[in-house]
């Protein structure tokens, strides 16, 4: 439970908010590289943390992220003319390169004027199938993160994105909440038996235990938590990591998420799978994987979870019953949604655009949820009080999560010995 003030502090990420300032200190995924226009194409509108930008590639193939509002007098760069080495504003013709150099100011007689100013562009990187940007104070960008999926080429990686019409925190909550899996996804998990996909094989055991033992520790990158399920004398530990400010490494060990606010009431839910041995990025594996979890384009579009459909009538909402199929539910499916992604989104979206956490009743099953609140609030408060930002510049490459069988008295932390525990606040808890 949070006060309304803390809830706002944690959830709001616009340019004039504390959490917005915190988020802007980190490198954030903006979009799939496959959605970036080709060299010299039209600038692409992008909304991120409640601000408007355009993404573009110049004739040399350099990617750039520009403020959507021209440096001169604010006309939209969405309308700009793409001209080889820069974008030219259509109002008075000022032209900007992707690195912020001002290339031309045709309505100013002084040819030196353009050398004294610089355009509103932001540092970007391309890695792991994603365009990343740093939106914080100039010259203070942290080390660029290196995750294992960044070492894989497109054929060994799957990038997918669902748009959720809710605040970003609601989506992250679902990623650090092992106890919902057995309930919300019961029908999907029941279908994993015998399915050859790695994802199915790694999750099939979860259908058997609804109240896993949950423990969590604060770490230098955020926190990690475990869900331990018993089956006979076997104990299966699933460890997930939350990496500030909005990343989660799934216990399957080959799946990573970023939940990036588009604005306070919508987020991009990026998924990346990787496999060094299998060409999962190629057909038929790619589509099989995406369809199994409801991230294939037709299923996303059916629920208004793509860029083209998220403002349309199919987007899950109060007025359309969140697109739940009651007939399917009555005929035996637990939820009446197509797959995992839609079930998660329905729970996030239906709680309200920004969920009211002054009205919740957390239990011992929610230890990682309260740990998440503390991690996010620590970032927001550090930004508000201008103190050093937690988790900034932590080396994240080995923060990958894992799941494995452990012995009766074995400490699960032995599975992630490289995680640096900051505070020993772990308390054993059994979900009730």
Task: For the beta carbon of residue 312, count every other beta carbon within 10 angstroms.
Answer: 10
Q: Which residues bind Fe ion (CB under 5 A)?
A: 174, 344
Q: Is 89 in the site for ligand FES (CB under 6 A)?
A: yes
Select the binding partner of residue 164 from ligand FES, Fe ion, none (C-beta < 5 to 8 A, by kind): none
Q: Is 158 in the site for ligand FES (CB under 6 A)?
A: no
Q: Is 79 in the site for ligand FES (CB under 6 A)?
A: no
Q: Indicate the residue among 69 and 340 with the shorter CB distance to Fe ion.
A: 340
Q: Which of 79, 76, 80 is nearest to 67 (CA)?
A: 76
Distance CA 118, CA 97 (A): 9
Q: Going edge to edge, which strands form the sheet with 63-67?
A: 44-48, 51-57, 63-67, 121-122
Q: Is 94 in the site for ligand FES (CB under 6 A)?
A: yes
Q: What single-letter DSSP state applies at residue 201? A: H
Q: Indicate the residue among 102 and 175 with the shorter CB distance to Fe ion.
A: 175
Q: Let me know: does 136 contact 142? Beta carbons within 8 Å.
A: no
Among the listed residues 75, 101, 117, 197, the single contact to ligand FES using CB under 6 A: 75
Q: Indicate the residue among 97 and 272 with the shorter CB distance to Fe ion.
A: 272
Helices within 280-421 (DSSP H only): 285-293, 297-302, 326-330, 340-350, 367-384
Nearest distance, CB of residue 87 and ligand FES, angstroms: 10
Q: Indicate the residue among 75 and 291 with the shorter CB distance to ligand FES.
A: 75
Task: Give the SS3 label for residue 375.
Answer: helix
Q: Is 92 in the site for ligand FES (CB under 6 A)?
A: yes
Task: Give the SS3 label for residue 285.
Answer: helix
Q: Is 70 in the site for ligand FES (CB under 6 A)?
A: yes
DSSP for 319-330, please give it: GGGGG--HHHHH
> Between residue 260 and residue 299, which ones bind ligand FES under the rule CB under 6 A?
none
Q: Let me know: does 46 contact 55? Beta carbons within 8 Å.
A: yes
Q: Stretches 46-54, 86-94, 211-219, 231-239: which one binds ligand FES (CB under 6 A)?
A: 86-94
Nearest distance, CB of residue 245 and Fe ion, angstroms: 21
Q: Indicate the residue among 70 and 368 with the shorter CB distance to ligand FES.
A: 70
Q: Is 91 in the site for ligand FES (CB under 6 A)?
A: yes
Nearest distance, CB of residue 73 and ligand FES, angstroms: 4
Q: Indicate the residue among 119 and 222 with the shorter CB distance to ligand FES.
A: 119
Distance CA 36, CA 61 (A): 11
> Between residue 118 and residue 157, which ones bind ligand FES under the rule CB under 6 A?
none
Q: Is 52 in the site for ligand FES (CB under 6 A)?
A: no
| Size (the chain), residues | 432
Task: For the beta carbon of residue 7, count every other beta carbon within 10 angstroms.
Answer: 22
What is the rounded radius of gyration, in angstroms, for the C-alpha atoms of the chain? 22
- By CB under 6 A, name the binding residues for ligand FES: 70, 72-75, 89, 91-94
């Amino acid at each position: 439970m949070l006060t309304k003030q803390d809830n706002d502090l944690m959830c709001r990420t616009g340019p004039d908010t504390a959490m917005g300032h915190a988020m802007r200190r980190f490198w954030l995924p903006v979009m799939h590289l496959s959605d970036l226009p080709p060299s010299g194409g039209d600038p692409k509108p992008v909304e991120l943390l409640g601000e408007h930008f355009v993404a573009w590639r110049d004739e040399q193939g350099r990617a750039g992220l520009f403020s959507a509002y021209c440096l001169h007098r604010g006309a939209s760069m969405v309308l700009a003319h793409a001209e080889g080495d820069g974008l030219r504003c259509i109002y008075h013709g000022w032209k900007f390169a992707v690195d912020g150099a001002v290339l031309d100011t045709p309505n100013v007689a002084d040819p030196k004027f353009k050398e004294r100013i610089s355009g509103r562009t932001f540092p970007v990187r391309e890695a792991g199938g994603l365009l990343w940007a740093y939106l914080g104070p100039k010259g203070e960008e942290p080390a660029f993160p290196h995750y294992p999926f960044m070492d894989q080429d497109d054929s060994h990686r799957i990038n997918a994105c669902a748009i959720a019409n809710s605040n970003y925190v609601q989506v992250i909550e679902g990623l650090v909440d092992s106890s919902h899996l057995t309930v919300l996804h019961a029908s999907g998990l029941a279908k994993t038996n015998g399915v050859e996909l790695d994802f199915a094989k790694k999750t099939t055991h979860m259908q058997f235990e609804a109240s896993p033992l949950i423990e969590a520790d604060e770490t230098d990158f955020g926190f990690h938590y475990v869900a331990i399920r018993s089956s006979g004398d076997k104990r299966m530990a699933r460890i997930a990591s939350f990496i500030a400010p909005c990343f989660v490494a799934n216990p399957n060990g080959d799946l990573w998420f970023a939940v990036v606010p588009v604005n306070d009431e919508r987020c991009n839910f990026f998924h990346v799978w990787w496999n060094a041995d299998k060409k999962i990025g190629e057909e038929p594996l790619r589509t099989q994987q995406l369809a199994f979890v409801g991230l294939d384009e037709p299923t996303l579009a059916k629920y208004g979870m793509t860029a083209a459909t998220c403002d349309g009538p199919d987007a899950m909402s109060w007025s359309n019953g969140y697109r739940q199929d009651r007939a399917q539910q009555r005929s035996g499916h637990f939820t009446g949604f197509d797959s995992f992604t839609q079930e998660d989104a329905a729970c996030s979206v239906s709680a309200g655009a920004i969920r009211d956490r002054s009205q919740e009743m957390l239990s011992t099953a929610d230890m990682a949820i309260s740990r998440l609140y503390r991690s996010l609030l620590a970032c927001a408060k550090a930004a508000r009080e201008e103190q050093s930002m937690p988790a900034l510049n932590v080396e994240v490459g080995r923060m990958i999560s894992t799941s494995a069988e452990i012995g009766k008295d074995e400490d699960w932390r032995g599975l992630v010995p490289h995680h640096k525990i900051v505070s020993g606040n772990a308390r054993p808890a059994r979900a009730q």
